[in-house]
A and B are shown apart, each in its own frame.
Chain A
Amino acid sequence: MALAPAITDLERLKGHPAVGRLLEWNPATVTGVKFDRDEMTIYVDRANIREACALLRDDAECAFNFLSDITCVDWYPAEPRFEVIYHLLSIPKKERVRLKVRLDSASPAVESLTSVWPGANYFEREVFDLFGIRFTGHPYLRRLLMPEDWEGHPLRKDYPVEGYR
């Protein structure tokens, strides 16, 4: 099974319900798409992520009603440095989609999804803890896994594997 090359052409992927719905709502929301290894990735503008998620959750055709996961990738030293990644699952349609928000290192902040899915709470705290991404509007943005007084964010690429001590 050879790997098919990734499709990144927005025109070719317009047929995907999630992409179509987002474009219909606000064309500026979608800043890029990628279809690779049978997985759909949509790059979303950082200002619109909360509305985009609420839209995809409530839309009858997409029905991405389940937030599987939130995580982050650090592309240090490239800019924009961070990619916050949201994995959505549609329980009725049995489909997945991945939303990505790119954040630069100057202001790694994005709107919190806790008002859309309360379950985003721990995931966002974890990302805050390990990457230092701030989620505005989060009810309790404290460290989750590391001790309260820990310095630095361990999963950043400029944080040594052995730690600072």
Chain B
Amino acid sequence: MSVGVFILVSVIKSVIVLIVLLTAVAYTVWLERKVVGHMQNRWGPTRVGPFGLLQPAADGLKFLFKEDLTPPHVYKPLFLAAPMMALIFALTSISVIPFGNSITIGRMNIPLQITDVNIGLLLILGVTSMGVYGVALAGWSSNNKYSLLGGLRASAQMVSYEIALGLSLVGVLMQSGSFSLRAIVEAQGGRFLHIIPRWNIFHGQFIGFFIYLMAAYAETNRIPFDLPEAETELVAGYHTEYSAMKFAMFFMAEYANMITVACLATLLFFGGWNGPLFGPELLQAVLPVFWFGAKIFCFLFLYIWVRGTLPRFRYDQLMSFGWKFLLPLAIANLVATAIAVAW
């Protein structure tokens, strides 16, 4: 493959992934409003398009046309940079996520992934933890006490849960012996006893998954860990002073992070695109992507479900939960996995 073709293919893939991701973000918001609405005896959006399906487009337009206010006392460079950073890091992390096996067009074998880095997982962890800069800087540069408190909470929370999150993944890495996400997924092919899929969650990593799930909720600032933006305490936390598209960037970053986290959970614990294959060849080519999407959907649904059910933690409880419960558990899980693997 020549360099030119490689660049062309990469650009096309990036554009497609970006479009799909942003659409997914928009429709996750729609899904959340719809599902939470139905849980709370409401209808959710119904006015724009059938079932309110065009609501995301309307919201996007609204964000674009709203007045972009910059309060007078903010530190402008960082105030502008913060939402961009949040969104950029959220979008970057998707680049190493594989969506399925490779497809063959003509003589070219194109992997369904923007780029297959052999330390893909590390890259994702690194980039997502950079996302905290966006939040912390937004909180600081807004020159607003609520924002500051929100930014502080966010930084503390993300830093502490990052550790548990990382440790919960080490177990999986030990079992698969690779940092490449593609390799991890491929290691999960096949079944135990021809029935149970050989996914990591059924392969001794149940506790690991549980820790990952908790930490991921905290990482993405979702209920019950949504303290940085707890609207009943801190008004809107770090994005109190943001409006229009800058606010939308934070919003998109949050949902993009949700999707990334869901992708990662699927890849690491639920066998990625592995699933029953049947039917004609074309269907067989599409099914893995479908399974992948379906699993992600389940995760997003879980997110929304939890939001409709649980109240929120308090700051100190959140920290002690992270440090005193999740972290020791993660380490214990790690040791147990290590022993099992060494056996």
Q: Do chains A and B touch in the complex (CB under 8 A)?
A: no
| Chain B residues at the A interface, C-beta cutoff of 8 Å | none
| Chain A residues at the B interface, C-beta cutoff of 8 Å | none
